[in-house]
Amino acid sequence: MKLWEFHNKWIKITDIDGQIFTGRADLYTSELDNPDGVESLCIWQSGSENLIEFEEHEIAHIELISVETHTMAEAV
């Protein structure tokens, strides 16, 4: 997965448990910089002040969200 492509964009993540999270992607960490050796991406969850980190293996599906037009473009 190319998580760096979602950095600083509005996204919708479905995790491997089927939970859905929407918000602005922030804090991308490459597998080389992560002590666990996997890519990760944090999102600021919409409607809250929660910053949630997702490692690549925890993401079942990720989509870009166009906030202006409220449409979604499937990315992965």
- Tens digits of residue pLDDT in 23-70: 999 999 999 998 889 999 999 988 888 899 999 999 999 999 976 544
Question: According to the model, what pLDDT value does residue 9 have?
Answer: 94
Question: According to the model, what pLDDT value does residue 48 have?
Answer: 82
**How many Å apart are CA 25 and CA 27, to the nearest integer?**
7
Identity (one letter) of the amino acid at 29? Answer: T
CATH number of 3-74: 2.30.30.100
Domain boundaries defined on the chain: 3-74
